[in-house]
Structure 1
């Protein structure tokens, strides 16, 4: 029988450590679920935001998700190549691109949302429904302290 290495209890009990481990597990679960539908996490986030906010200016979209403009261009190029979004001059300011989700984009997004929901359910499976609600509320306060 192999010896189990000792667990460094001080560091592994820190909230920052635990949040990092939980986040890594959550990312892995969601990434695997999205990959089944040919989607990467940032692509899913952008597609979801476009569906919610669109038509939306490319720069505004990047700011809303805190994505570097160079990275946003690549993500949008990928989504456009797959026929999931369109880019066209913004009718209110022709210097900007307006991003709109396509019918195929809406269909793919629905599949990915269901997959991501199942992955998040797996992540929180050890919690009762009321605990899940409280946990998410607490995470929001930690992630967005100015809004609390």
Structure 2
């Protein structure tokens, strides 16, 4: 039976332990744990806007000038195309994006943010940035910039 301190034998629980774990140098585990923490913080910050990290990501890409197709969104976000369809459907239902025929391929749709979508994204982005600053409070500005650079290299290998 677990003790009040959370450990099975009255010690420090696995969740409370920092260092000394066989996973301390397991980059895949560390990335997965950091991702889980980041998603939780991001989703909490986005709740007031009726968004979650995935829908926010679609909206962010729709705000730019790229005019991505749903297929491009799925590839970029590494999601199943059916997930992107559902995300775009929800954003469109809320009036934040619209689908337009792709001038280069009439069989495809591009996703474009509406004026309301652009305003929602601008406000939500501030909330996400604030949550990120709080989550990464232990990092110096230089560490944060380096982390961002390293993650970009991992996420978008050349």
TM-score, normalized by length of structure 1?
0.86
Partner of 1:13: 24
Tell me the alpha carbon deviations over residues 43-74 of structure 1, each in whole angstroms, 9 at most, x when there is no partner.
00001011124433222222222221111111
Q: Per residue, is there more helix in 1 or in 2? A: 1
CA change 1:21–1:55 in 2 (3 A) is closer
Partner of 1:99: 111
Partner of 2:69: 57
* Structure 1 SS opposite 2:108: strand
Tell me the alpha carbon deviations over residues 76-115 of structure 1, each in whole angstroms, 9 at most, x when there is no partner.
1100000001112223322111221100000110111101
Long gaps (5+) in structure 2: none
Name whichever of 49-58 and 118-127 sits farther off: 49-58
Partner of 2:79: 67
Partner of 1:4: 11
* Structure 2 SS opposite 1:36: helix
CA change 1:63–1:12 in 2 (3 A) is closer
Partner of 2:42: 30
RMSD: 2.0
TM-score, normalized by length of structure 2?
0.81
Q: Which has the higher contact order (CA 8 A, sep 6+)?
A: 1
Partner of 1:81: 93
Partner of 2:123: 111
Runs of 4 or more consecutive aligned structure 1 residues displaced over 4 Å after TM superposition: none
* Count of residues in Structure 1 that have an aligned counterpart in Structure 2: 146
Say if 1:11 and 1:17, in contact at 8 Å, map to a contact too.
no
Query: 2:56 aligned with 1:44, yes or no?
Result: yes
Distance 1:22 1:90 in 2: 37
Partner of 1:90: 102
Say if 1:50 and 1:56, in contact at 8 Å, map to a contact too.
yes
